[in-house]
Amino acid sequence: MAYLTQPDYVKYICSCGQLKPITSLYFCRHCLKIRCGFCICHEVDSHYCANCLENMPSSEARLKKNRCSSCFDCPSCFHTLSTRATTQQRQVLQDPAAGGDTKVESKQPKKMYYLSCFNCRWTSRDVGIPDQPVASGGWPERTNPHAARVNQLIDYYKAIAQQEKQEKIERERKKFNIRGKYITLTDKTGLTGAMARNIAGLPSSESSSSAIANFVPSVATAEVDELPEDIFTKEVNLNQITSMPQRLASPDWQPVSVSRLHPLAKLLSVKRSQRCRACDHNLTKPEYNPGSIKFKIELLAYYHVPEVKIISHEPVKPGEKTALFLKLTNPTGHEMQLRLLQPEDIPPPEEKEEPKSIDKSLERSLVLEKDTTAFKAIERQPNISATSRVTSPGVTLTLAQRDDAAEYDDDAQHDTNDIILWRKSNKLGVRLELDTSAEAVGGSPARALVALQYSYRNTVPPAPSAAACRDHTLYTTLLLDLGTVSSN
Amino acid sequence: MALYEGIALIQEKQAVVLDLGTDYTKFGFTGEAAPRCIVRSEFWSAAERRVRRLHDYATPDELYDNLVHMLHLLYFRHVLVNPKERKVVVVESLLTPTLFRETLAKVLFTHYEVSGVIWADSPRLCALTLGTPAALVINIGAKEAEVAAVVHSCVVLQALVAQPLGAHAVHAELARLLDEDNGATLDLPDDVIEDIKVKTCFVSPLERALQWGSESPPRAARSVRYSCGARGSVTVTGRARELAAEPLFARDHELASLPDAVLQSLARCPRDARRALAANVVLAGGGAALPGLRARLAAELRRLRAQPPYAERLHVDEFRFHEPPGHGNALAWLGGAVLGASDAGAARALAREQYAREPRLRDWVCLLDNTPPHHPHRAYLDI
């Protein structure tokens, strides 16, 4: 996988104007456009623990604050903690009255478990957490020391908001004081008023006022805690003081001393599904099983757009024509017609005239909510400043469909002409000419711009209303990174 | 369980609270007592193959990209929720650049399609965590220390004082002292400096600080050998440990130290609120967590109060300090969580539809927003 470690020499221009390598692009089969991580909509699909690969429904994940209940991270070095077992001789209760049976049972050593880090040797015993009788779970849970006070504050402000709302309603009512001719019974007795309040789901007025009345604002003190006396004389043990990452790993407590560190319940991970912003179709959808790395839907550009790789090139010189060798690959299962163009030659995307039928307009009005303005806002003009142009050979190249069996054929066919170097199943080596502008300064990055026109067969079963148009001619623009312009 | 699910369906999704600080970002849910994560405000940029800081930007487009990447990291790596159709409480400083606010709004509304954003300023949120009618909020952030007076949930804008006396000032001084004591230009990375500060530094009391300035310096605290891996080890002398935070209290003719900023802010407040404010001081921000800082600030305030130019202007007799219900570095965040949980906050949200109609944010510096309704100029503004 050279893609992971090498710089991206060939970049495609996404429909939103971003420059990305083909491995990080998607291809929407419904819009027939290249999309990238920037212009698609990401969604959380499912939660799972990356350590135990246990799935967790999202409602449960919400309750558990997105933490796994059985896996823990080391609070000291953030490595995963392992559960260790020890045997502990249970205190044998000398009970003469008890029978032999119970005695045998109580003599059995009991297994106790603690957590230990194999990386930094931190154990849960270091900080005085008692060993647990069960292997997983049951570890003491801590609550935020300020939780009660925060809840008080929230109740207080909720009550105030409630009161404000009430007062507003009162004012409104005073303004239009139109009383009915008949004083109904409900108005006279307070009892039903409370009932109406109950039905409306509003808390009764007494409780809100009591929350306000019982609230005690924070009390300020004139005394501030001074530095401990021994700070000037005590030796500092750096191993006993936590670092910033250790503190921030548990935002609720932020322990200062190492002895207050507690195991961190492992944060869950999510599988994401991706959706095209323009047409709302899924681009990728992972399988539900956390152990599986496969996708249910996987519309990656790598499987749909012809791939271009640089084989080699002559040094780029200003004002000269140099040779460039490229490899073109057809990843699709259909034969592909390919032409190299200048980026200006790409026809502007024509606005499709919608057939004006009642059905269509109705459909339009239904999907009115989802407008494409958001997508338009994300689009931006790509920043392409290329020093060179690839001269278009003006011939149409034909690439065979991908054939997995043909991968094992070694001999490349040499039906060479002045453009095609070699041909091997769905791959093609081409020799092209690179035209560099005379203004290019030596030492500046050499980049070449080339546009591709390729035929694409859409395999999506067409909607009954749409025309059965399966073959499309699509365009994409690429930016090739050819090192630097040579200075002489 | 089934009932709970039902309620969750009817209820609006729990909003998230976002505090994008210069150094650390706090992110979590409303109604909770602490953020879910406090992470450095930086992300891995695949295109450049390096870690990028959120606040490093030259152009608006760059800032937009930074925000998109940072929020993606926060939503899908740390908090694990869909950003779509969920409200956000944004905790911001009153001095946040307009470009930053507007770009953040654009990212949230168009890129992440959130349903509404509640813009809340940090002094008011810090005061919210106390529940007192008046509070003097001293927020020591990464870059700046801001002093703001909040009276009945209103920031006294003319009393807003900010000085570049944040954690970075302490870091710079510590780096200088370390270089001096080790006799070499160490050029330690920021995170090492921060680690040294967090583990060893403290703020010395007033008497000792005065002694350091005189001819007979006090006996320094113990020095520490700090090992920084392959670089060998660095000696952190007692002097460096003690004096690293002195820039916050260094006074010159400009009167730009932290206690001066507090007193100046008080002096600009309405006369009848000053005593109440001085009796309700709260320290917030990560920079306020240095041991001894509160004590030193209290001592400095009490000393300077009796000196010119404050003695004859500021008739304040007592400074009282609050113990807020949360850690200083996430106090403004906590205020946001409290605000977002009550209905009052949710009602003040800028809805997505509203933003789509008119992409404009309310801002306290804008005349459209701060001209009172009966002001003679108001007529020119409402067009």
Give tens-digit pLDDT for A366-397.
Answer: 444 445 555 566 777 777 778 888 888 888 88
Give Cβ neighbours of residue B238 (< 8 Å, ≥ 6 apart).
Answer: A232, B220, B221, B222, B223
Q: How far is CA B343 from CA A311, B77, B347, in A?
A: 63, 29, 6
| A368 near B CB under 8 A | no
Lowest mean pLDDT among A109-118, A217-226, B296-305, B342-351: B342-351
Residues B161, B102 within the same domain = no
- Rounded to an integer, the average pLDDT of A325-332 is 91
pLDDT band at A175 (very low <50, low <70, confident <90, very high): confident
pLDDT at B279: 94
pLDDT at B3: 44
Residues B121, B136 within the same domain = no
Read off the pLDDT of residues B358-376 as tens digits, 9 standing for 90 and up: 888 988 888 888 888 888 8
| A439 near B CB under 8 A | no
Q: Which residue in the set A154, A227, A254 is minimally distant from B342, CB to CB? A: A154
pLDDT at A210: 80
pLDDT at A423: 85
Lowest mean pLDDT among A214-218, A313-317, B11-15: B11-15
Q: Which residue in the set B34, B202, B343 is minimally distant from A227, CB to CB? A: B202
The four Cα atoms B251, B255, B258, B261 give a dihedral, to 10 degrees, of 170
Average pLDDT, chain A: 81
pLDDT at A353: 44
Write the burial class of residue A188 (CB in 10 Å: 0-12 exposed, 13-18 middle, 19+ buried): exposed
Q: What are phi and psi of B53, to 5 degrees?
A: -85, 145
Check CB contact under 8 Å for B80 and A44. Answer: yes
pLDDT band at A454 (very low <50, low <70, confident <90, very high): very high
Before A315, cis peptide (omega within 30)?
Answer: no
Residues B336, B371 within the same domain = yes
Residue ranges of A 120-159 with Cβ closer than 8 A to chain B: 144, 146-147, 149-150, 153-154, 156-158
pLDDT at A229: 84
| Domain-embedded: residue B9 | yes
* Nearest chain A Cα distance for residue B35, angstroms: 6
Residues B290, B150 within the same domain = yes
pLDDT at B339: 92
Residues B179, B238 within the same domain = yes
- Rounded to an integer, the average pLDDT of B26-52 is 92
| A202 near B CB under 8 A | no
| Domain-embedded: residue B181 | yes
pLDDT at A422: 86
| A168 near B CB under 8 A | no
* Nearest chain B Cα distance for residue A270, angstroms: 7
Which residue of B5, B44, B80, B334 is the best one to mutate when testing the A interface, meaning the one whose CB has the most A CBs within 10 A? B80
| Domain-embedded: residue B325 | no
Q: With a cut of 80, say whether residue A204 has pLDDT above it.
A: no
pLDDT band at B281 (very low <50, low <70, confident <90, very high): very high
pLDDT band at B8 (very low <50, low <70, confident <90, very high): very low
pLDDT at A78: 94
Residues B311, B182 within the same domain = yes
**Enclosing domain of residue B345:** 3-125+330-381
Q: With a cut of 50, say whether residue B70 has pLDDT above it.
A: yes
Tokens 């849960």 label which residue? A124
Q: With a cut of 70, say whether residue A360 has pLDDT above it.
A: no
Check CB contact under 8 Å for A218 and B338. Answer: no
pLDDT band at A400 (very low <50, low <70, confident <90, very high): confident
Which chain A residue lies closest to B128 (C-alpha atoms)? A153
Which chain A residue lies closest to B199 (C-alpha atoms)? A241
Residues B216, B286 within the same domain = yes
pLDDT band at A355 (very low <50, low <70, confident <90, very high): very low
Residues B354, B278 within the same domain = no
Q: How many domains does chain B have?
A: 2
CATH classification at residue B98: 3.30.420.40
How many CB atoms neighbour CB A262 within 10 A?
17
Which chain B residue lies closest to A164 (C-alpha atoms)? B344
DSSP one-letter code for A290? T
- Rounded to an integer, the average pLDDT of B273-302 is 94
Out of B271, B293, B318, pick the residue that ends a domain: B318
Distance CA A334, CA A400 (A): 7
Which chain A residue lies closest to B236 (C-alpha atoms)? A236
Residues B202, B225 within the same domain = yes
Read off the pLDDT of residues B187-240 as tens digits, 9 standing for 90 and up: 899 999 999 999 999 999 999 999 988 888 888 888 999 988 777 889 999 999
| Domain-embedded: residue B351 | yes
Residue A4 or residue A146, greater confidence:
A146
| Domain-embedded: residue B368 | yes
With residue A57 as reference, give the H or E element that holds it.
Answer: none
pLDDT at A191: 53
Tell me the one-letter amino acid at A288. Y
Q: Which residue in the set A147, A165, A251 is minimally distant from B38, CB to CB? A: A251
- Rounded to an integer, the average pLDDT of A408-422 is 73
| Domain-embedded: residue B142 | yes
Read off the pLDDT of residues B89-99 as tens digits, 9 standing for 90 and up: 999 999 999 99
Q: With a cut of 80, say whether residue A408 has pLDDT above it.
A: no
Residues B151, B41 within the same domain = no
Nearest Cα to Cα of residue B330 among B177, B139, B49? B139
pLDDT at A147: 92
Read off the pLDDT of residues B134-152 as tens digits, 9 standing for 90 and up: 999 999 999 999 999 999 9
| Domain-embedded: residue B323 | no
| A14 near B CB under 8 A | no
pLDDT band at B53 (very low <50, low <70, confident <90, very high): very high
Complex ipTM value = 0.91
Q: Tokens standing for B324?
A: 């807020």
Residues B83, B201 within the same domain = no
Residue B258 or residue B368, greater confidence:
B258
Q: Tokens standing for A17?
A: 């104007």
CB pairs under 8 A between A and B: 175
Read off the pLDDT of residues A248-275 as tens digits, 9 standing for 90 and up: 999 999 999 999 999 999 999 999 999 9
- Rounded to an integer, the average pLDDT of A203-224 is 78
With residue A266 as reference, give the H or E element that holds it.
Answer: strand A264-267
